[in-house]
Structure 1
């Protein structure tokens, strides 16, 4: 596998070449292509030409001067595919990236061959909306430790969280706080207003919804709502919290690659 980086507008593009069909990666809020997909990138790249873009304020992409926009994130991802010569592609979206993936499919229906949506939502609802509001406020105040203490128990499964010793838990909180990129609050600000229910009903491509069943950040019913509104979508369950790349990366990769192979 080979990787290189280039810039399109403000976007950092990560490309792997296998000669296979195109696959675009849309990462989650506060993450990056590497942090969200690095654990499964080799599996994905074995049969696909993979293109991923870091949103403004994370990875190698400068922070945006104003609020982010889902349409613009979707367009930037497709622009990266254009720059790499990919005419058609599947899209794998994780968490907030699932919103970006759906918007790509809605805006470029003739180019998207399949959707895989993991730990994502059509609309935030009250629980996720309030959590995102607090996430944004803490990020704006620079309260990285408090933000980590909010997100760690929401993103780890009960089994993993309660299996940590007090020392290990503090280490996880410290590492999480240190990992937040400059744009972490900008990403979260997209969550409360997101509502993709109308777009989902118009999408007509093979789709797989991977539901993280132990997820406390994005409730299971919010994840399953996507499958209910996306015509013909398949559902697979993954017994993890919100971080499948941390808890069960091999199982996550197999669900994605097996579906795309079909």
Structure 2
């Protein structure tokens, strides 16, 4: 699909909230997650300088689950439609993990509506190691062993040094903050993650792009980050001292990188008008 074509928007927006004021910033969360889980305190940081549009995927938050399998196309269309219905005809998109692939697809399907991309803990396509992670995640969720699932998500989500610094009681408390049940749409979202392939989309991106990675991310490894970066010549890269849980470990640093990038993009647009 040409980067200059216009794709009709989906008819049903996602459910979420608006916060802050300023240029529009649309959030795309990770799989088996929701806005609160993927972005946490980052939303308040970003709302100081942006109107944050924060929708949940089908089966997360207050958005009803879909009966059909999720696709990148439909999710990207509904994400952009949600922004338009919120009053924003053009947005920058911040994607986290699976949300980065959704953001890229939104930019290639709706280029007239996307001004910039921030792809955090993103990937172009899962490798066998990530398939194993996702498969184990789904199996534990289906087994309904919440203690083991929480332990697994801790071990893959946070960097080892972060967890090593916690006492036994603090580690137990952190595990206890993981919701006892995944969102109803978690399995469908993880299934989508296993099917993601945006390699062809990357050559069609025409807007400024910032990549944000966790130096100790055990879900989206450095190899996956490098593959994504290689497909987007000219993209900036910020590496944070974090595991996959950027919002828990480095929210201020993550927000700072985003705000600085968006400020630079806007200054460039004003200079070139």
* TM-score using structure 1 length: 0.91
CA contact (8 A) 1:204 1:231 kept: no
Residue 160 of structure 2 is aligned with which of 158, 161, 168? 158
Aligned partner of 2:8 in structure 1 is none
Aligned length: 254
Cα distance, 1:253 vs. partner?
A: 0.4
Distance in 2, matches of 1:190 and 1:125, equals: 14
Stretches (4+) displaced over 6 A: none
Give the unaligned 5+ runs of structure 2. Answer: 1-10, 265-273
Q: Pick the aligned partner of 1:229 from 228, 231, 244.
A: 231
Residue 85 of structure 1: aligned partner: 87
2:19 corresponds to which residue?
Answer: 16
Q: Quote the Cα distance in structure 1 between the aligned partners of 2:253 and 2:13.
A: 33
Distance 1:55 1:14 in 2: 13
Task: Show the 5 A alignment for 1:171-190.
Answer: 171-178=173-180, 180-190=182-192
Q: Aligned equivalents of 2:45 and 2:13: distance in 1?
A: 28
C-alpha contact (below 8 Å) 1:10/1:61 kept by paired residues: no
RMSD: 1.6
Q: CA deviation at 1:10?
A: 6.5
Alignment correspondent of 1:69? 71
Q: 1:99 aligns with which of 73, 98, 101?
A: 101
Q: Does 1:209 align with 2:230?
A: no
User: Which of the residues 242, 250, 253 maps onto 2:252?
Assistant: 250
Distance in 1 (alpha carbons) for counterparts of 2:15 and 2:160:
35
Q: State which drifts further: 86-95 or 162-171.
A: 162-171
Pair 1:198 & 2:200 matched:
yes
1:89-124 CA-partner distances (Å, limit 9, x unpaired): 100001111111111111111221100011111111
How far apart in 1 are the matches of 2:164 and 2:109?
42
- Segments of structure 1 that go 5 or more residues without pairing to the other structure are 1-7
> Shift of residue 49 of structure 1?
1.8
- Between 59-68 and 189-198, the greater mean CA deviation after superposition: 59-68
Per-residue CA deviations over 1:19-67 (Å, capped at 9, x if unaligned) read: x221110011122112222302122122222212101111111222232
